[in-house]
Amino acid sequence: MKEEMAEYLPLSQTEDSEKQTSSHPSLIPIKSRKKGGLITMPFIIANEALESVASYGLLPNMTFYLMRDYRMDITTTQNLLFFWSATTNFLPIVGAVVADSYLGRFLTIGLGSIFSFLGTVVLWLTAMIPKARPPPCNQSGHEACKSTTTSQYMLLVFSFLLMSIGAGGIRPCSLAFGANQFDKGGSNPNKHTVLESFFAWYYTSSIVSVLIALTGIVYLQDRLGWKIGFGVPAILMFLSALFFFLASPFYIKQKVLSNVFASFIRVIVVAFKNRKLHYPNQNSDYHHKNGSGPQVPTDKLRFLNKACVIKSPEDVKPNGVAANPWNLCTVEQVEELKALIRVVPLWSTGIMISINLSQSSFPLLQAQSMNRHLTKGFQIPAGSFGMFLMIALTIWVLLYDRVMLPLASKIKGRPVRLKPIVRMGLGIFVSCMSMVVSGIIENIRRRRAISEGLLNNSQGLVEMSAFWLIIPNSLNGIAKALNAIGATEFYYSELPRSLSSIASALLGLGMAVASLLASVILSAVDKYTKGEGTESWVSSNINKGHYEYYYWLLAVLTAFNLIYFVACCSQYGPSVDVDITKKMMELSDDDD
């Protein structure tokens, strides 16, 4: 009983008990408080879920906020959102490096939570303080509307930057930090079961939080305005940080790992230094990790093999470690870099899907101009139509895992499972179809708007149901489920265990690059489709523009991307198939 109660004793009491035990051996020792385990799971999941609700709830209606309150045109608005998305998706890679090499995951998540909270507060202040944004236009029309000042624009961008830094601290570390809480050392027969339960709850909470953001937060912004709509996310981020720090005494805080990026740089530098060396004929002339048998690097990307060539016996210490890591690398380090370089072409094929998924402003304006009434007294907010993407994604994953695969396995009489690389290709194809359908729906909507005399009235309501937009949103959800999940499994299976953090960050890096390329495509379309007296395809007036042409352009680019994907697959060769849940559990075992 005393041992069980000791788990809940304050730290000071535990320390005093240890002192008393040392001075009085007859006393029964009281164990120090246990760390990690299920008690930390609610705090970690709450931190990630509340951050997701706060951040994802701000994006859908941000187009309206920028166009109406800051009077930006559609191209400027979407480009700003592209840059925000690129920063948000790139900084998690920086956060992963900082966490694994310098600060540790606990401190990185904690600082990320604080930055996210500050970012939502600054954004909320832009809505609360009238001078933080341009004044309303003079209704008499005698004076021109004042544009956004540099200080107002910088304050807005500063809020975006703070939230991006926060996401860069939370998102790459949250899942891994949660898995670390079950690494208590020793053999635990129930560890895999508990980990699987944690993963299930974590991903379920992520999906639910996004759905809440796309419905509840968006509804508050539509009905109660920006002050309440931005204030609630700020409160949620405060709670997110509070819950995370409350459980600080219970967390297992692992030591900082080595910097894998430094290892890559060493391989490149040493290979360049040794570029004039001849390839050795014996396996023993290649340097390998201490404790492993003689190994020979693969012939692919052979020029990197010179980084692990032993030039003289003095290059290796008696304990088997390189005397100077900048003069000699191991075969394992060389093969890690090769594995990463090999997946880069296939990784680049996912960028086009991310470009298609990042088009947030145009579907929003489409939904705003259509009939969104679910009943006579209730209509779905235009910013909430993105929830159908998440719903379709969830339904597809459940059907694929619980219905399609078991049924196919029963028919074939053997286990059936599509390889990750096959699902990646199917995702690209479905994404192409989504852009084609989006263009067809927009073409019909625009024709109806013109026939109803709404050519010059972009605020007018077209007599066409907005629920037609569920079709492209659902296709986007299926495309994301196929490609994103397949790509993640592919990275985990093809990259060594030591590169697991990079495997989890590659998808976000692709989304960051996609946002930048999407901005380039949008700016080029706006520039080269605008003529004298004619609007560009992506005009702020949705009825004067030709959004359908823009969608079909993306469809053509996606079709070319599919051809490029097939070429990359043939060049890559056979790939490994692996169960991602088992892989993550193995990675968790490696941390013990």
Domain boundary residue, one of 234, 257, 280: 257
Q: Which two tokens stand for residue 386?
A: 């993105």
Domain boundary residue, one of 329, 359, 377: 329
Q: Are 397 and 485 in contact (CB under 8 A)?
A: yes
Q: Whole-prediction pTM value? A: 0.82
Distance CA 194, CA 182 (A): 8
Looking at the structure, tell me whether residues 438 and 458 fall in a common domain: yes
Domain count, the chain: 4
Name the residue among 104, 81, 57, 130 with its Cα closest to residue 381. Answer: 57
Looking at the structure, tell me whether residues 440 and 456 fall in a common domain: yes
The answer to which of 200-214, 232-246, 513-527 has the lowest mean pLDDT is 200-214
Q: What is the pLDDT of residues 84-125, one digit of tens each?
A: 999 999 998 888 888 877 888 899 999 999 999 999 999 999
Alpha helices (runs of H) in 73-138, residue ranges in sequence order = 74-98, 105-128
- pLDDT at position 143 is 63
Looking at the structure, tell me whether residues 24 and 39 fall in a common domain: no
Q: Are 14 and 32 in contact (CB under 8 A)?
A: yes
* Residue 331 CB coordination number (10 Å): 21
Range of the domain at 285: 260-329
Higher-pLDDT residue of 522 and 22 is 522
Higher-pLDDT residue of 588 and 487 is 487
Contacts (Cβ under 8 Å, ≥6 apart) of 559: 432
Q: What is the pLDDT of residues 392-448, one digit of tens each?
A: 998 998 888 888 888 988 888 888 888 889 999 999 999 999 999 999 999 999 999
| Per-residue pLDDT at 21 exceeds 60 | no
Going by the DSSP 8-state scheme, the letter that residue 531 receives in this structure is B
- pLDDT at position 192 is 61
- Alpha-carbon dihedral 337, 261, 89, 585, rounded to 10 degrees: 70
In a domain, 589, yes or no: no
Distance CA 472, CA 308 (A): 51
In a domain, 591, yes or no: no
In a domain, 281, yes or no: yes
Gyration radius of the chain over CA positions: 27
- Alpha-carbon dihedral 267, 273, 276, 280, rounded to 10 degrees: -50
Looking at the structure, tell me whether residues 458 and 408 fall in a common domain: yes
Name the residue among 57, 322, 441, 10 with its Cα closest to residue 211. Answer: 57
In a domain, 143, yes or no: no
Contacts (Cβ under 8 Å, ≥6 apart) of 68: none
Distance CA 218, CA 305 (A): 54
Q: Which two tokens stand for residue 447?
A: 């024709």
Q: What is the pLDDT of residues 206-218, one digit of tens each?
A: 888 988 998 999 9
* Residue 7 CB coordination number (10 Å): 16
Residue located via tokens 């219970």? 250
In a domain, 141, yes or no: no
Share of the chain above pLDDT 90, in %: 41
- pLDDT at position 271 is 92
Domain boundary residue, one of 257, 291, 313: 257
Name the residue among 274, 257, 239 with its Cα closest to residue 116. Answer: 239
Q: Are 156 and 126 in contact (CB under 8 A)?
A: yes
Contacts (Cβ under 8 Å, ≥6 apart) of 330: 287, 288, 289, 308, 322
Q: Compute the mean pLDDT over every residue in the chain, rounded to the nearest whole number.
A: 84
Looking at the structure, tell me whether residues 420 and 503 fall in a common domain: yes
CATH number at residue 397: 1.20.1250.20
Cα angle, residue 383 at apex, residues 46 and 139 outer, rounded to 5°: 125
Looking at the structure, tell me whether residues 195 and 154 fall in a common domain: yes
Looking at the structure, tell me whether residues 206 and 272 fall in a common domain: no
| Per-residue pLDDT at 47 exceeds 80 | yes
**Alpha-carbon 218 to chain mean position:** 21
Q: What is the pLDDT of residues 472-502, one digit of tens each?
A: 999 999 999 899 888 888 888 888 877 776 7
Amino acid at the residue 578: V
Looking at the structure, tell me whether residues 287 and 251 fall in a common domain: no
Asked whether the CA dihedral 563, 425, 548, 457 is positive or negative, the reply is negative
Amino acid at the residue 195: L
- pLDDT at position 220 is 92
- β-pair type (373-375, 370-371): unpaired
Q: What band does 347 get if pLDDT is binned at 50, 70 and 90?
A: very high
Q: Which two tokens stand for residue 299?
A: 């012939």
| Per-residue pLDDT at 11 exceeds 70 | no
- pLDDT at position 294 is 62
DSSP 152-195: HHHHHHHHHHHHHHHHHHHTTTHHHHHHHTT--SS--TTHHHHH
Q: What is the pLDDT of residues 370-392, one digit of tens each?
A: 999 888 888 899 889 989 998 99
Across the strands, what pairs with 371? 465
Distance CA 213, CA 390 (A): 11
Looking at the structure, tell me whether residues 485 and 362 fall in a common domain: yes
- pLDDT at position 418 is 84
The answer to which of 6-15, 74-83, 384-393, 508-517 has the lowest mean pLDDT is 6-15
Looking at the structure, tell me whether residues 64 and 207 fall in a common domain: yes
Share of the chain above pLDDT 70, in %: 86
Q: Cα–Cα distances in Å, from 295 out to 328, 346, 516, 588?
A: 15, 28, 42, 26
Q: Are 338 and 499 in contact (CB under 8 A)?
A: no
**Alpha-carbon 168 to chain mean position:** 9
Looking at the structure, tell me whether residues 199 and 272 fall in a common domain: no
In a domain, 198, yes or no: yes
Looking at the structure, tell me whether residues 266 and 205 fall in a common domain: no
Q: Cα–Cα distances in Å, from 266 out to 306, 314, 334, 383?
A: 12, 19, 9, 48
Q: Are 243 and 47 in contact (CB under 8 A)?
A: yes
In a domain, 337, yes or no: no
Residue located via tokens 């060769």? 573
In a domain, 531, yes or no: yes
